[in-house]
Structure 1
């Protein structure tokens, strides 16, 4: 059902409570008075919602994206952000993956299109194919894709916020489908086939959250602490949960996920563009010998053979 909620406050605690209505578990880390905070959220529920934020003073905010992917567009003032500690280019549309986003800003306007991970997965056929949604880039793939995404996001915001269109269900559905399709194409989202038990819907939710976090951030410098935070468990707790559910450890699952990405990277590159050492480094392998051995065991050829094919 289409919703529209807007608020203005000068109180930091109330502002934090308003943010938490959109992103549970979020918190202001710093906020300088005098302070004016404005928030408006429109959308159709779990699939697509659009949040607009205005903050008049310098502030630092930590936001938890849970089962949601956000695509942000910032304007005015100063705005810097990270997604799971990866710096974002906020001069153009930027993608906020499930996990923790942090921002440092002053006197800015921000629009975030929130996309339900489940809705995106269904849109690209992940559920039907037994695969997992993968977000390849935190920025649009091309300048044309960035421009088109801005057009689609503003169009959707206009449709969802126009009260005269509130009873037009087909228009809302078409707009939602357009937003999902545009996000998939603009940011290169794909379905990754996974043969592990991590695709089993019966798996504990904490392990599913951790596994999805690993898949979404396989190239990032993450470790057991970040995985535990994504699962909302202690380090010991997530280790036990992985052992019980998957008969493996979180760090081994991370290593296997990275190893799955390496062949595509090598196969779509040439020796003039990259080296085996560089690909190993990108996917978190600091020991080239161990990477080559694991790669050969998994794919029955050396990484160099894949690169030179």
Structure 2
């Protein structure tokens, strides 16, 4: 199965537009040891060479179970009797403590994280130190490239590099939203059909990055330019719609749509709201839903086509969510379309 997933993803990556992020098929990782030398070796190999591990007791231990998809990873980590120093590197690390506690220090700020805390363990380009006190945590890593791409919107925009200004969420509701997002992404990329879709993998990564930016205080808010309103024209919409229609099968985001329309992200968002009363990403989802509808209509139910596979191919990782959207748009379930039966 894994070979088939990788082959399908390689075929999709071969036709990516220039400048698009390159994602990888989700890879499972599983490791456990009580050997001090192997703890450091594995953590360095997995999370980067700029990581130093110090065993502080004889009964130290490490266990990791997770998934890695190139620009992001999700792991259940259990670690005890160890302190870890991490040099600055371009990865954002967010943890939800599930057992034990973690002592943490970054620059002049120190904290202790307990069960239920959702925190930034490692900020972009900032080193940190932490001691895992027989702690278990759900750890999410997102590359700085993906964070910056989502934060800036326009890949060619000259904006300052985003910085996180606090290591705890802006609110309890934001922390809950982060955990719900991580759960949704985990479910999406562990689905066999979804894991073979670059649209699903890429969208899941963008969602993680966007939710991280919405969860923790940071400097990503951009000012609207005066030209954005004058650029929000019908011609901008026409160019954006043409790009969406031609590239709906590729892993694209709002920044790619704006670039194709030759305006900023804010301008293309204003243009869609002004002239179509929608957003670029909602329009992209509508086009993908229509493509899935056509594929189901033209498929033979005996030819091996499944609703789950078609949904994943067009960027819908959740079959139930796809069915809800589909029925609202077409008045019948996708399975009815595939079987050629009318809605009751």
TM-score by length of structure 1 reads 0.56
Say whether residues 1:118 and 2:145 are aligned partners.
yes
Could you tell me how far 1:85 is from its partner in structure 2? 4.3
Corresponding residue for residue 265 of structure 2: none
In 2, Cα distance between equivalents of 1:162 and 1:24: 31
Say whether residues 1:189 and 2:214 are aligned partners.
no
Corresponding residue for residue 58 of structure 2: 33
In 2, Cα distance between equivalents of 1:94 and 1:83: 12
- Contact 2:101–2:112 under 8 Å retained in 1: no
Please show how residues 38-77 of structure 1 align to structure 2 within 5 Å. Answer: 38-45=63-70, 47-55=71-79, 57-77=80-100
Could you tell me how far 1:58 is from its partner in structure 2? 2.3
Relative distance call for 1:80 and 1:154 in structure 2 (3 A) is farther
* Alignment counterpart, residue 18 of structure 1, candidates 25, 42, 55: 42
In 2, Cα distance between equivalents of 1:182 and 1:61: 27
Could you tell me how far 1:183 is from its partner in structure 2? 0.6
Could you tell me how far 1:164 is from its partner in structure 2? 5.9
- Contact 1:137–1:188 under 8 Å retained in 2: yes
Please state whether the residue corresponding to 1:76 is helix, strand or coil.
strand
Query: Aligned-pair RMSD on alpha carbons?
Result: 2.4
Please show how residues 1-309 of structure 1 align to structure 2 within 5 Å. Answer: 1=24, 2-21=26-45, 22-45=47-70, 47-55=71-79, 57-88=80-111, 90-91=113-114, 92-95=117-120, 96-97=122-123, 98-125=125-152, 127-131=155-159, 132-163=161-192, 165-191=194-220
Could you tell me how far 1:51 is from its partner in structure 2? 3.0
Corresponding residue for residue 277 of structure 1: none
Could you tell me how far 1:162 is from its partner in structure 2? 4.9
TM-score by length of structure 2 reads 0.51
In 2, Cα distance between equivalents of 1:84 and 1:51: 26
Q: Which runs of 5+ in 2 are unaligned?
A: 1-23, 223-344
Please state whether the residue corresponding to 1:141 is helix, strand or coil.
coil
- Contact 2:102–2:112 under 8 Å retained in 1: no
Structure 1 residues 28-79: Cα deviation after superposition (integer angstroms, max 9, x where no partner): 223312233112341321x222233212x42212123511111111121232
Please state whether the residue corresponding to 1:154 is helix, strand or coil.
helix
- Contact 1:43–1:160 under 8 Å retained in 2: no
In 2, Cα distance between equivalents of 1:162 and 1:36: 30
In 1, Cα distance between equivalents of 2:192 and 2:37: 30
In 1, Cα distance between equivalents of 2:88 and 2:192: 28
In 2, Cα distance between equivalents of 1:135 and 1:184: 8
Could you tell me how far 1:154 is from its partner in structure 2? 2.9
- The structure having more radius of gyration, on CA atoms, is 2
In 1, Cα distance between equivalents of 2:33 and 2:108: 29
In 2, Cα distance between equivalents of 1:77 and 1:64: 24
In 1, Cα distance between equivalents of 2:92 and 2:139: 10
In 1, Cα distance between equivalents of 2:76 and 2:51: 16
Relative distance call for 1:160 and 1:16 in structure 2 (3 A) is farther
In 1, Cα distance between equivalents of 2:197 and 2:208: 17
- Contact 2:103–2:113 under 8 Å retained in 1: yes
